[in-house]
Chain A
Amino acid sequence: MSARTQVYGMIAEFESPGALLSAAEKMRDAGYTTFDCHSPFPIHGMDTAMGLKRSIVGYVAGICGLAGGSFGLALQWWTSVVDYPLVISGKPFFSYQAFVPVTFALTVLCAAIGVVIAMLVTNGLPRLFHGWFYSSRFTRFSNDGFFVSVEVGDKRYDPVKTKAFLESIGGTHVEVVQGE
């Protein structure tokens, strides 16, 4: 069985949101790139502490919203002017004022669905498996635990040095996460 054991990385626990924030800064300054912090709730200032870029989901929402709105307007124009022109109360075929509600609804609908899908895709969700699930201590991340994780793929990952470094910046219960 041990031959199939795979090492996923290393996790260390920190005491509080503040401790996690300063740990993230030190990890960033030490040159780690594929590390992450895990907390029960979003901590403000964490993205700059980790050196993350701004999320792209806003752009996706904008593009999807524009596409949805354009489709909505085009649909109403085509059905009311081209395919099925019908005089209603003597109004022009392209009575755009009346087309505002549907255009708006489709803009919002597409933007919202787009932003949720963008969030899922950028986060790699949904996933049925994650290496950190092998650590029983890690489950506390969704309750009151604050963790730093380093993936084994990080170019600065080293079983001994990384462990020592995590401990030097205040991490406790440093463990190597491995499973089948």
Chain B
Amino acid sequence: MAAAEAKELQQLPLVLGDKKYDNVTRDIIAPVETFPKKLWWIAFSVALTVFGVHMTAIAVVVGTGLGLLGINNPVGWGTFIINFVFWIGIGHAGTLISAVLYVFRQQWRTAINRSAEAMTIFAVACAGIFPNIHVGRLWFIFWAMPYPNERGVLWPNFRSPLVWDVFAISTYLTISLVFWYAGLVPDFASIRDRIKESDAVQKIRKSVYSVLSLGWVGSTRAWAHYEAMAMILAGLSFPLVLSVHSIVSFDFATSVIPGWHTTIFPPYFVIGAIFSGFGMVLTLLIIMREVFHFQDYITIKHLENMAKVTMLTGSLVGLAYSTEFFMAWYSGSPFEGFAFINRMFGPYWWAYWIMVSCNVITPQLFWFKSIRTNPTLLWIISIFVNIGMWFERYVIVVTSLHRDYLPSSWDMYIMTNWDFAILIGSFGMFFTLFLLFVRVFPAIAIAEIKMVMKSPGAKGFGH
């Protein structure tokens, strides 16, 4: 009885197959050491082309003016703000995996944290473009930074959430980059030490990875400082990730627009961000594990855990939607009440119902283990999550603005081709960066995987 119970309680191993440390290094570095095949080149050229469209469209819009876009009065915030919030949100899952799960000692994070962090950085980079081009005069964006200037006694208004955003997002990007790079150093050393300097190309690779690995020799003294640093960085990123999307939500919540002016916004935005981020992690990793044969490292168990997080956060997002409705009714404010009825049944009813069905209903399928453990179905549902979360931001931004207090100001928001080009283009940028990442950097944290696997040869040793 006791033995059977103990066996049942024993968890599935995090790394499948009877692997030695050498196999782990070999398997994970393989995509970095081999020349990309046709599939990668096709994906990369498509992504790069779309990225080119992105940059061209941005250049035209910045050069011509914001009149090319669908924004008008009263809908002064359009796709740029929608995409900004969307991409920032995507990033949150990476930090959650790398920092929050680290602090809670969740060992299953080791297989997915590297690529999730990469996703964070690329998503925040995509997001960072949008507020800059949204201001219209990109060349004055540095005015948001506080510095003694030649314009007289003039400082940014620190009571403005838009200035908070500047600090929150740039801090978030910097810390994510630093955390990611610090984690990569030992793995760069693994790549460096495997290179045989047989020809000129290999010599260049050796120099590049030597510099990137900073001369790491894996000494215990170094690991001691390194682990202390990783714990502190995780501890710092934990509150940071919660603050970043809270501050993004303040951009909305501190205004007096019906549908925006609510105290639920910070937690609602943070949960939505984690939800959308896990959706994107699933989208990326399910493809990556197939293409690079990482099934033994990113196991079904990992996918299932992510599906569970997605289901939980999706349900919380649903709870937030209904709380908003309750508060709109309970507040007794006719403007609030109108804003929410209008969301459901107004001219943008379709966007609202796409949002609800993708974000609240589809994740409920994860109650079934057969769906949670099926990579194909998981991938399809993750796409729904991505779509749903984009529409959530669309609903929040557009439906609240298009009906102003004065009915004479009412207007509709219609996206132009430039809006679409920049929206789709940002995905090109994201995938270009991600495709480069998986070929140049180890996509799974090698040293951390070795920590959580059962150590071969040593009896009774392990974590």
Contact = CB atoms under 8 A, between A and B. Distances in A.
Given A102-B158, A109-B171, A41 B461 contact: no
A123 interface: yes
Contact of B450 (A40, A102, A111, A112): A40
From A16, A95, A111, A142, name the one whose CB has the most chain B CB atoms within 10 angstroms: A142
A6 interface: no
A119 B450 CA distance: 22
Contacts of B237: 112
Interface residues of A, number: 72
A127 interface: yes
From A50, A54, A141, name the one whose CB has the most chain B CB atoms within 10 angstroms: A141
Contact of A108 (B182, B186, B240, B451): B240
Contacts of B163: 102
A141 B194 CA distance: 11
B232 A50 contact: no
Nearest to B156: A79
B13 interface: no
B155 interface: yes
A25 B318 CA distance: 55
Interface string A14-58: 011111010010000000000011111111101100101011011
Contact of B154 (A84, A95, A104): A84
A123 B450 contact: no
B193 A139 contact: yes
Contacts of B194: 139, 143
B458 A143 contact: no
A102 B239 CA distance: 14
Interface stretch (B83-91, B211-219, B285-293, B411-419): B211-219
Given A24-B220, A52-B224, A98-B159, A41 B450 contact: yes
Nearest to A114: B232
Instruction: Give chain A's interface secondary structure class.
Output: helix
Instruction: Give chain B's interface secondary structure class.
Output: helix
A141 B190 CA distance: 8
A142 B214 contact: no
B21 A143 contact: yes
Given A79-B146, A119-B229, 8 more contacts: A18-B460, A39-B218, A42-B223, A43-B220, A46-B220, A75-B146, A106-B167, A142-B190
B233 interface: yes
B215 A52 contact: no
A88 B21 contact: no
A75 B447 CA distance: 41
Contacts of B281: none
A36 B219 contact: yes
A18 B459 CA distance: 8
A128 interface: yes
B239 A108 contact: yes
A88 B159 contact: yes
Give the 5 A-B CB pairs with smallest separation, nearest first.
Answer: A144-B21, A127-B215, A126-B214, A16-B458, A139-B193
Nearest to A37: B220
30 contacts: A16-B457, A16-B458, A18-B455, A39-B220, A40-B447, A41-B448, A41-B451, A42-B226, A42-B447, A50-B221, A58-B232, A105-B164, A105-B167, A105-B243, A108-B236, A108-B239, A109-B175, A111-B232, A112-B178, A112-B233, A113-B178, A115-B232, A115-B233, A116-B229, A125-B216, A128-B211, A142-B189, A143-B22, A144-B25, A149-B219
Contacts of B240: 105, 108
A88 B157 contact: yes
A162 interface: no
B57 to A, nearest CB: 31
Contacts of B222: 123, 125
A79 B240 CA distance: 25
Given A24-B220, A36-B220, A15 B159 contact: no
A116 B226 CA distance: 9
A19 B458 contact: yes
Contacts of A143: 21-22, 25, 190, 193-194
A51 to B, nearest CB: 11
B228 interface: yes
B48 to A, nearest CB: 32
A52 B221 contact: yes
Nearest to B179: A112
Nearest to A86: B157
B357 interface: no
Contacts of A144: 20-22, 25
Interface in A119-142: 119-120, 122-123, 125-130, 132-133, 138-142
B201 interface: no
A89 B240 CA distance: 28
A4 interface: no
A147 B228 CA distance: 22
B232 A38 contact: no
A116 to B, nearest CB: 5
A109 B174 contact: yes
B37 interface: no
Contacts of A84: 153-155
Nearest to B193: A139
A28 to B, nearest CB: 11
Contacts of B178: 112-113, 116
Contact of B193 (A15, A98, A142): A142
A57 B225 contact: yes
A89 B461 CA distance: 64
A116 B243 contact: no
B171 A105 contact: yes
Contacts of A138: 217
Contacts of A109: 171, 174-175
Contact of B155 (A80, A115, A130, A149): A80
A122 B227 CA distance: 13
